[in-house]
Structure formats: C-alpha cells, structure tokens
Amino acid sequence: MGWGLRIAAGALAAVVILAAGLFWAGLRITAPGPLDEAATVVIPRGSGLEAIAIALADAGVVESPLLFIAGAQATGAVRELKAGEYAFAPGVSIDGVLKQLRQGRTVVRRLTVPEGLTVAQILSLLDAEPALAGTVSAKPAEGSLLPETYHYSYGDSRDALVGRMAAAMRSALAEAWARRAPDLPLATPGEALTLASIVEKETSVAEERPRVAGVFLNRLADGMRLQSDPTVIYALTDGSGELGRPLTRADWRFDSPYNTYVADGLPPGPIANPGRAAIDAVLNPERHEYVYFVADGSGGHAFARTLAEHNRNVARWRAVQRRPSDSDAAGE
C-alpha cells in the first residue's frame, strides 16, 4: 500500500473514531442522568465551569464532573452558564441541565407581606429569609411599603426587594388617589395613607373597611378626635409591633402625637403599612352618618350615629366579654 493510501486510510479511521466518540458522547449527554429525586443546587456568582460541574456531581445531578465539562464544551455552553438556584427533575440529562443553566431558569421564591405590619415587622420578615442577601441600607418610612406577595430569586438583595415594595406602594397610592371620591376631608395622598393604616389596623373584615373609613372621615369632618386604639399601641411600642396586653385608661392618656385620644386630627404619619383594599376604602368610603363603632363579639363591629346608641353597643360588647367561653364552662 502506498503512503497516499495509508494516509487516506488513517484519516478515514480517525474520522470514524472521532465520529464514534462524538456519537457516544452525544448519547451520554442526552441520556437520563443519575438523579433519583428532585434536587436543588445553588450555583454561586462567579463560579467557573469546573466548580459548577463538581457542585452538580456532588448533588447527584450528573454522573461525573468530566462528562458535564465535556458536554458543556461540545455544546458551546461554557460561557453561557448562569448563576442562581436551580431545581432539577429526577433523571434530568446533562443536556437538560445545560439548557436550564443557559436559560437561567432559576427557582422563583415567594415572600408574602401581610397587610397591617409595621416597617420594623416587615424588615424582620426580610431578615428571616435566608435566600436574600445583604442588609437594608436605610429604614424606610412607616407606611411606605405595599403588602403583597413578592417573587424573588436566590441571592437577590434585601435592599432591592424593599425598593420594589416602596415603588409598588407609590404606584398603588397614586392610582387610588387619582380615582378618589369628591369632597373628602383629606388634603394629600399622605393623609390618605395615614388614615388607611388606621383602617387597616381597626378591622380585618374586608366588607367593613369602607364603613370604618366612613366613620373616621365623618369624625375628621366634624372636628372629633379619631380615638383609635391602634394609634395608642403604635405610640406605646414606637412602631415595633404588638403591645402584648390590653390597653388601660392610663394608656389612652399617653402623651404622643400618634395617640388620637389626646391629639386632634390625623397622627403625623401612618401607623402601619396598609394594603390596597384599605387605601381604596379610605378614598372611596361608604357614605353614612356613623361616628362610633365597637366590636360586636362576632369578629365585626356595631356602628352608631349617637353616643347613646354607641353606649348601648358598648354595654352589649362588655356583656359578651363577661360571658364564659365554652372551654370555661366545660372546666377546661
């Protein structure tokens, strides 16, 4: 055999071997992986290909780091792999893993901020989320964060999430203010936000919010003090949260501009972070003549137009409070 034929034969053999190798590698890359059950893996920012491969192999997502590296190189994905938290399905192939990492299909986490929390309480929620990073650079103003469910990814900053909450509140307040009812005794969106925070703390019954808002607006229009217990609690706790005990007569005399039993008009600012429904209730309240309300024992409130009617409602509420509960009657 001449050298030309030998070279040609050698080249052909090399091509066949290379093709067989690529075919084998392709089969390995697309074949089901070793993962028996769903697993979550965090790829830190700045991770190189080798570190990613080792993390995936340690979690049992891929068979070996070398095979994953070979797959990434063969598919051209080396420089396209994104950091983040990933959830991998059982049996996911290397090809499937590479697609997730290239597309950045990370785990979407959720944080629900309930209505009526103070800023201090919301910041505590954020501190308790281990998937968030960093600290909040400056404490936001009370009432400036919108209670909602927020989606975020592993490693997102607490500061950025607070910024989103503040932007959402600004947007919600501006939208509600633009469609407010006429002739409200509220001069600014800030006053509306302050009253909405009081309404939010006064009732958890959705249907009652516009009626409770109407009571406070009637009081403002008549020059009456708001006399709202949650404002006293906010003054006593300095906005840190719940008081942990019933209010006393001495508490109602506590000297603070936030205590609406001693101070006229609205407090200097919000006492909590109200939700959209409370803001809407204040800016589109129920029109009525009620100026008093008290708990009725069923979770809601009894409303009154006159002090005499209110006193009767208070007497009924006190009778409910004195009534023994079912557990007391059973000796439990």
| pLDDT, tens digit, 9 for 90 and up, residues 162-193 | 999 999 999 999 999 999 999 999 999 999 99
Confidence at residue 322, expressed as pLDDT on a 0 to 100 scale: 79
- Tokens encoding 181: 């009812």
User: Over the chain, what is the mean pLDDT?
Assistant: 89
Residue 87 has pLDDT above 50, yes or no: yes
Q: Of 209, 196, 282, 198, whose CA–CA distance to 232 is shortest?
A: 198
The answer as to whether 49 is a domain residue is yes
Same domain for 38 and 90? yes
Same domain for 237 and 325? yes
Q: How far is CA 7 from the centre of its chain?
A: 69
Q: What is the pLDDT of residues 240-273, one digit of tens each?
A: 988 989 999 999 999 999 999 999 999 999 999 9
- pLDDT band at residue 275 using 50, 70 and 90 as cut-offs: very high
Question: ∠ CA(122), CA(128), CA(134), 5° rounding?
Answer: 90
Residue 11 has pLDDT above 60, yes or no: no
Average pLDDT of span 227-232: 96
- 118 with 273: CB under 8 angstroms? yes
For residues 138, 142, 144, 146, the Cα torsion angle rounded to the nearest 10 degrees is: 110
DSSP string, 118-146: -HHHHHHHHHT-TTSBS--SSPPPTT-S-
Confidence at residue 324, expressed as pLDDT on a 0 to 100 scale: 67
Same domain for 59 and 149? no
- Domain final residue pick, 47, 70, 103: 103
The answer as to whether 16 is a domain residue is no
Residue 19 has pLDDT above 70, yes or no: no
Confidence at residue 184, expressed as pLDDT on a 0 to 100 scale: 96
Name the pTM for this structure. Answer: 0.83
Q: How far is CA 59 from the centre of its chain?
A: 30
CA 188/CA 122 separation, integer angstroms: 25
Q: For the domain that residue 96 is a member of, what is the CATH number? A: 3.30.1490.480
- Domain final residue pick, 145, 168, 191: 168
The answer as to whether 155 is a domain residue is yes
Count of beta carbons in the 10 Å neighbourhood of residue 178: 9
Confidence at residue 325, expressed as pLDDT on a 0 to 100 scale: 58
- 153 with 107: CB under 8 angstroms? yes
Q: Which helix (H) or strand (E) holds 88?
A: strand 84-88
The answer as to whether 275 is a domain residue is yes
Same domain for 287 and 317? yes
Same domain for 191 and 325? yes
Query: Domain count of the chain?
Result: 3
- pLDDT band at residue 5 using 50, 70 and 90 as cut-offs: very low
Same domain for 187 and 320? yes
The answer as to whether 7 is a domain residue is no
Same domain for 192 and 288? yes
Residue 230 has pLDDT above 70, yes or no: yes
Share of the chain above pLDDT 70, in %: 89
- 90 with 37: CB under 8 angstroms? yes
The answer as to whether 1 is a domain residue is no
* Domain enclosing residue 58, as ranges: 30-103
Residue 42 has pLDDT above 50, yes or no: yes
The answer as to whether 239 is a domain residue is yes
Same domain for 296 and 258? yes
Same domain for 197 and 310? yes
Q: Of 150, 199, 146, 203, whose CA–CA distance to 175 is shortest?
A: 146
Confidence at residue 241, expressed as pLDDT on a 0 to 100 scale: 84
Q: How many residues does the chain have?
A: 332
Q: Of 262, 260, 270, whose CA–CA distance to 239 is shortest?
A: 270
User: Can you list the alpha helix ranges (DSSP code H) found in the chain?
Assistant: 3-30, 49-58, 65-75, 94-103, 119-127, 158-178, 189-202, 209-222, 229-237, 249-252, 276-283, 307-322, 326-329
The answer as to whether 176 is a domain residue is no
Same domain for 118 and 244? no
Q: What is the pLDDT of residues 276-331, one digit of tens each?
A: 999 999 999 999 999 999 988 888 899 999 999 999 989 898 888 877 654 443 33
- pLDDT band at residue 7 using 50, 70 and 90 as cut-offs: very low
Confidence at residue 301, expressed as pLDDT on a 0 to 100 scale: 94
Same domain for 276 and 150? no
Place of tokens 């609690």: 233
Q: What is the pLDDT of residues 265-274, one digit of tens each?
A: 999 999 999 9
- Tokens encoding 326: 């079912």
Same domain for 229 and 206? yes
